[in-house]
């Protein structure tokens, strides 16, 4: 965690604003409703439903627990429904912060389901052919919606759903077990993967496709994320990584500099799906279901990375 030695009158740093967001999740309210609230809104623009591409319904909530079960209805005829156990939004506690500090990770995987994950899952559902008979890994998966969607709908050979947070990996394992009947012959497994690992036993250069969403926000993780992407992409032979991420100032650009430094190529596509673009346009034109929507912070670009 970086520190900010500026005076109280200075503009808060991005990292300090992120930690205030997480503390607000613990306290269920902002302790200091001052001008920094605007900054926090710029850092975190999570909407209650996001792009709402995959309809989601609350199944049940144990009021003695922070968890709830949600049913995701994949919007393609014949696709199974997926049941995911996940945290209720803004339901963190001090134990979460202790685990983050111990493992040098952020807590965004348990704070909520992020909008780009919905976009990634929808895109993968619409492009099933690129995963058929392939080995696939999802990085920074959170509760695993995209990875589970790939496993349930694309006839992939293997899907590894990974995250660096051991708490999140427990949720992934639970969600894999809950939906195991939907995967057919596809092998599906969870994995705790910290992006700074230099060697990944039996996995280095073996994946045909890497997928990730909303993983390029934190600049302090850019170098490790780029390196692990290069490490996991299969060689020899064709392979690619599919990332969805908003620009968020220069954050995405800085990550792509690291991608180039690792000898990889990339392309960026802004309009990659008609339905997603139409919903983006609606939000830009004042759709009130996503207050504070801004293209730079909210609309995920499609980044394809190859050797």
Alpha-helical segments (H) within 12-158: 14-27, 36-43, 94-103, 108-111, 115-126, 145-153
**More confident of the two residues 246 and 34:** 246
Rounded average pLDDT over 286-290: 90
Per residue in 18-44, pLDDT (tens digit) is 555 555 555 544 444 443 343 333 333
User: Token pair for residue 13?
Assistant: 């740093």
Over range 260-273, report the average pLDDT: 98
pLDDT digits (tens, 9 = 90+) for 174-223: 999 999 999 999 999 999 999 998 777 688 999 999 999 999 999 999 99
Is the per-residue pLDDT at 166 higher than 60?
Answer: yes
What integer best gives the mean pLDDT of the chain? Answer: 84
Banded model confidence at residue 91, pLDDT cuts 50, 70, 90 = low
Asked which of 61-75, 90-104, 142-156 is least confident by mean pLDDT, the reply is 90-104
- How far from 152 is each of 117, 182, 275, CA to CA, in Å? 16, 5, 22
Residue 172 has pLDDT above 90, yes or no: yes
Higher pLDDT, 105 or 276: 276
pLDDT at 237: 87
Pairing verdict, β 240-245 and 301-306: antiparallel
Confidence class for position 108, pLDDT limits 50, 70, 90: low
What is the three-class DSSP state of 248? Answer: coil
* CATH superfamily for domain 48-304: Vaccinia Virus protein VP39 (3.40.50.150)
The crossing angle, in degrees rounded to 10, of helices 14-27 and 94-103 is 140
* pLDDT score for 37: 41
Closest CA to 184 of 162, 146, 157: 157
Q: Taking Cα atoms as reference points, which of 303, 289, 302 lies closest to residue 46? A: 289
pLDDT at position 2 is 37
Mean pLDDT of 280-297: 93
Maximum CA extent, the chain: 59
Asked if pLDDT for residue 45 goes beyond 50, the answer is no
C-alpha dihedral sign at 286, 287, 288, 289: negative
Strand ranges in 193-258 using DSSP code E only, listed in sequence order: 209-213, 240-245
């Amino acid at each position: 965690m970086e520190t900010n030695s500026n005076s109280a009158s200075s503009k808060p740093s991005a990292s300090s604003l992120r930690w205030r967001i997480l503390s607000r999740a613990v306290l269920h309210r902002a302790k200091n409703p001052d001008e920094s609230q605007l900054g926090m809104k710029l850092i975190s623009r999570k909407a209650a439903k996001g792009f709402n591409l995959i309809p989601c319904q609350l199944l049940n909530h144990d009021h003695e627990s922070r968890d709830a079960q949600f049913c995701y209805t994949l919007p393609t005829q014949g696709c199974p429904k997926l049941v995911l156990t996940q945290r209720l939004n803004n339901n963190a506690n001090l134990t979460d912060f202790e685990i983050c500090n111990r493992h040098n990770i952020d807590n965004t995987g348990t704070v909520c389901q992020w909008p780009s994950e919905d976009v990634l899952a929808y895109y993968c559902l619409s492009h099933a052919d690129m995963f058929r008979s392939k080995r696939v890994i999802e990085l920074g998966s959170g509760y695993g919606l995209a990875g589970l969607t790939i496993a349930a709908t694309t006839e992939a050979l293997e899907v590894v759903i990974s995250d660096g947070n051991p708490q999140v990996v427990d949720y992934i394992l639970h969600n894999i077990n809950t939906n195991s009947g939907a995967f057919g012959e596809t092998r599906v497994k969870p994995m705790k993967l910290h992006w700074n690992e230099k060697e990944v036993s039996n996995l280095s250069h073996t994946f045909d496709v890497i997928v990730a969403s909303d993983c390029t926000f934190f600049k302090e993780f850019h170098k490790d994320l780029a390196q692990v992407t290069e490490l996991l992409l299969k060689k020899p032979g064709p392979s690619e990584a599919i990332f969805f991420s908003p620009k968020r100032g220069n954050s995405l650009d800085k990550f792509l500099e690291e991608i180039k430094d690792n000898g990889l190529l990339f392309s960026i596509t802004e309009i990659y799906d008609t339905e997603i673009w139409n919903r983006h346009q609606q939000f830009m034109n004042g759709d009130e279901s996503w207050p504070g929507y801004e293209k730079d912070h909210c609309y995920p670009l499609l980044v394809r990375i190859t050797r």
